[in-house]
Structures are given as structure tokens and as C-alpha cells.
Amino acid sequence: MAVGFLCNGLTPVVVGRAVDDAIATARLNRLWLWIGVLACVFLVAMVANWAARFMLVRSQQLVSHDLRTAVTDRIQDPRGFAGRERTAGGLLSIASSDTTRVGDIVMMTVMPVAEAAAITYGAAMMFTINPWLSLATLVGGPVLVIVALRVARPLQRRSVGRQQAIAQAAATATDVVQGLRILKGLGAIVTVRRRYDEVSDDAYRKTVHADAAEARLNGATEATGAVFVSTLGIAAGALALAGHVTIGELITVVGLTQFLVVPMTMFGRNIASRWASAEASGRRIREVLGADFERISEADAATTERFIRALPSGLTVVDGTDAELIRLLESLPRTRVAVVPHAADLFDGSVADNVHPDRAAAEHALRVACCDDIPDGPDKRVGESGRMLSGGQRQRVALARAVALAPEVLVLQDPTTAVDSVTEQNLADNIARERIGKTTIVFSPAPAWNAVADARLTARRLRETAEGLLVGAEG
């Protein structure tokens, strides 16, 4: 990028020299020489700018991707987050828009460096014409940065508010979409719409305020830079009238001042504007990446071990349902106990992608879950929330994902309510064989599961066991 900037700055120097060396002396052969030099400068500038833009965009994408991957890995960590509850919409905002804004900070390692090099080059060229013009050029860069940083202070504060408001709006929208069917049944659409309008309007106002601060920053840097280079041009004209510079040197100075308008104005703006936005987003990303995990003390680990040992080995069918029991099971370490809800979520992508990243493991789990009837097999796209699959297919894909996880204890809640009886029986047989030597707890009244069960318990008895070991240990 610096090479491209320097080539652009070299253009007025070449033109000025051509005026003095060829046009003023009426030497046509020298004119063709300078035209050739100018063509070479344009060619180098074109290649340098293309290569710089390619590497810059690629670097931005790589940084954003690495950050997005790190944030996503932290969100999906089975150890979870300690402390306050985090909404899906808020985490989505951090993993998407915030990582992109921080990725843009790559510009700080490229554009300001190139702009500083261009300003230094312009000062060096002017030094060969007049030292005072060179000194004024070197002073202009720091002046613009100081002005920009002072004007950017409100932008940094408002960027934080904007990102928080956008995250809140995204969280509210996610909650509304996920619970839309229930909200319609309750007749609460008007109330929810009013609540969403409030958070959306708040995000809009804060975005406008942040954009207004950024516009003021851009206006201040543009005006300061334009006034500064205009003053340089006027000073060069006065020196030419006084006979201190030649016509060719005046053309060089005027060309350089026109060239310096862009790096002068962008120098302060890039440092202040991008840093303000990236700093606000970076703070939110650091908060997620540095968040504490759910703490499991040694006593908790020992209690979990006793509870797992107290469970019957093999496949156990539990008669009845108990929300408190499910809550107790979900409180156990996810690295050892996987609780699969009745309505498991699927994400947009292929069936195999929803089951396991390893293709062989995914295909094996799909065979166990009797998913052979799905058109296009593992490559079938499931759509958002699995909408391109039937209810039974969604249940079986979710069950295949649980099988591929291969946890020490697998808890299934009514896993086959949307499956026909023949498929349900085959599926139950497959799960029983697949989970030999491990503990599987199935909450289901279906005869197919009872037929393959190694043990049967009531929900009340299992809850008493869990409360005796888990709640008693907490007390």
C-alpha cells in the first residue's frame, strides 16, 4: 500500500521535472522519456495497489474468521458461562458484527503506515524545493491525529452503546422468533411487538448518535486536512511569485498538495475512527473470551461420580416426567452427562454437519438412528431449525447427534414421539445395542423402549435418588 501511495506522490514530481527538462527547453526526445517514466510509475502503482488491497482484505477476513471461531468455540464450550445469563442474540451479535469490526483493525497496520510514508515522502520532495514547506508538511500529520483523537472521544463511548443496543435488539428478535407459536397462542403478539419496537428504536437512536459522532470526526479531519494543504499551495504560489521556486517546482508542489489531501485527511480519521469502533467491540469480545466457566468443585465432581454409579447400567426407562428431575440432571457436568431435550434444535446445513464433524462418525450415528429414509442422505440440507425435514426426521437427526456424542450418561426425553411404531422399535433396538456398557435413561411411555429396557424406574424414585446425592451434597 505504501508503494502505491508513493507512486501516486511521484506523479507530480515527474510532471514537474518534465516541464522544466522537456517542455521549457522544447526537447521532444526528453518529453517522450518522461512520458515513459510516467507510464512506468502508473504501472507500478496499479500492481502495488491491487496486491495491497488483496492482502489487506484477506488479512481482515482471516483475523475476523479466527476471532469468530474463538468466540464460537467459547460459546459452545460444554462448561458454559458462570455468572449472568447470556442471550443467544447478544452472543450472535458479538460473534458476527463485533468480530468484523475488530477484524477491520488490520487497517491500522496498513493504511496509517502507508499514509505516514506518503506524508514523509511528500515532505522529502518538498525539502528539495523549499525546507519550510517540508517542515510544514511534517507538522501537519501529528496535528491531524491530535484533532481526530479529540473529536473521536464521543464516538468511542457511543460505539459501546450502539453495540449493546444492537445486541439487545437481536436477542429480543431471537426470543420472539423462537417462541412465536406460543406467543400467538397466548395472544401476546401486540405486547411483544411493542417491546421489540422499544428496543429496536433504542438501537436505532444509538446507531444514529454513533454515526453522527463519526460524521463529525470525518468532517473535522476533512476540513483540517483541506485547510492545511490549501495553505501549503498558497505558500508555494507566493514563493513562485517571489522567484524562489520555478514553474516546474510550483507544479510539483501543487501536485503534491493535491496528492497529500487524501493521506493527510485519512491519517487521523483511520487512527481515530477505526480504533474507537474496534476498541468498543474488542471489549465485548474480551468479556466473552475471558468469562469464567461454570465452577465444579471437587465435592461436586465426587458427588457426580457417586450419582452416576448409583444409576442402573444399560438402558433404563423412566415412567412419567418430572421437571425438577430434568433440572437436576441438566446441572451435572456436560462433559459426562448429556441431556437431550424433546425438541432439539438443528441448524441450517447438511444432516451430517448437524450430527458430527467427522463424516464417518456422523454416518454411523445416522444408521443407528434409522435415518436411511432421508432423501439425499447425510448431504440433505435441513434448513433453518430443520424446517426442510419432517418432524420424525428431525427427531432422529437430533438422536443421531446424541449417539455420536457418546457421553457416559445419555438422557433422552420422549425421543420418538413423531416416529412410526416400526421405525421406533428398530431405533430402540439400535440404541440399546449401541449403548452397551454405558448408561442410557429414556423418559418415554412407548412400548418399544420398554421392550429393550434393562431396568425401569419411576420419575419419583429417580428424583429421590438425585436429590439425596446432589441436593444433599450442595447443602
pTM (whole model) above 0.85: no
Distance of CA 183 to the CA centre of its chain: 30
Is 321 inside any structural domain? yes
| Alpha-carbon radius of gyration of the chain | 33
Query: Across-strand partners of 350?
Result: 381
Query: Residue 360, Cβ neighbours under 10 Å: how many?
Result: 9
Q: Based on the fold, state whether residues 358 and 453 are members of the same structural domain.
A: yes
Residue whose entry in the numeric block shows the C-alpha cell 476498541 = 279
Is 192 inside any structural domain? yes
Query: Residue 49, Cβ neighbours under 10 Å: how many?
Result: 16
| pLDDT value of position 475 | 45
Rounded to an integer, what distance in angstroms lies between the CA atom of residue 263 and that of residue 225? Answer: 9
| pLDDT value of position 196 | 82
Are 461 and 335 spatial neighbours (Cβ–Cβ below 8 Å)?
Answer: no
Among 339, 338, 369, residue whose Cα is nearest residue 352 = 369
Distance of CA 265 to the CA centre of its chain: 29
Q: Which helix (H) or strand (E) holds 12?
A: helix 2-18
Domain boundary among 229, 255, 289: 289
Rounded to an integer, what distance in angstroms lies between the CA atom of residue 429 and that of residue 448? Answer: 8
Rounded to an integer, what distance in angstroms lies between the CA atom of residue 71 and that of residue 90? Answer: 12
pLDDT tens, N- to C-terminus, the chain (475 residues): 566 666 666 676 777 777 767 776 777 777 788 888 888 888 888 888 788 778 878 888 888 899 899 998 888 876 778 777 777 767 877 888 788 888 877 776 677 777 777 777 777 877 877 788 777 777 766 776 666 666 666 666 677 677 778 777 877 777 777 676 676 777 777 888 888 888 888 888 888 887 787 777 777 777 777 777 777 778 878 887 877 777 777 777 777 777 776 777 676 666 666 666 677 788 888 888 888 876 654 446 777 777 778 787 889 898 887 777 787 777 777 778 888 887 778 888 899 999 999 999 999 999 999 998 888 889 988 887 778 888 888 889 999 998 998 888 889 988 888 888 898 899 999 999 999 888 899 998 889 999 999 888 888 887 777 666 655 444 4
Q: Are strands 455-458 and 439-443 parallel, antiparallel or unpaired?
A: unpaired
Q: Based on the fold, state whether residues 330 and 276 are members of the same structural domain.
A: no
Domain boundary among 236, 260, 289: 289
Q: Based on the fold, state whether residues 257 and 308 are members of the same structural domain.
A: no
| pLDDT value of position 144 | 66
Written as nine digits, the cell of 217 is 470526526
Non-local CB neighbours of 15 within 8 Å, separated by 6+ positions: 38, 251, 252, 255
Query: Across-strand partners of 317?
Result: 442, 456
For residue 25, give its domain range. Answer: 2-289
Q: How far is CA 142 from CA 43, 136, 138, 264, in A?
A: 32, 11, 8, 10
| pLDDT value of position 361 | 92
Q: Based on the fold, state whether residues 55 and 184 are members of the same structural domain.
A: yes
Q: Which CATH number fits the domain that encloses residue 425?
A: 3.40.50.300
Q: Based on the fold, state whether residues 259 and 379 are members of the same structural domain.
A: no
Q: Phi, psi (5° rounding) for residue 413?
A: -110, 110
Domain boundary among 289, 320, 343: 289
Q: Based on the fold, state whether residues 283 and 303 are members of the same structural domain.
A: no
Q: How many domains is the chain built from?
A: 2
Is 154 inside any structural domain? yes
Is 294 inside any structural domain? no
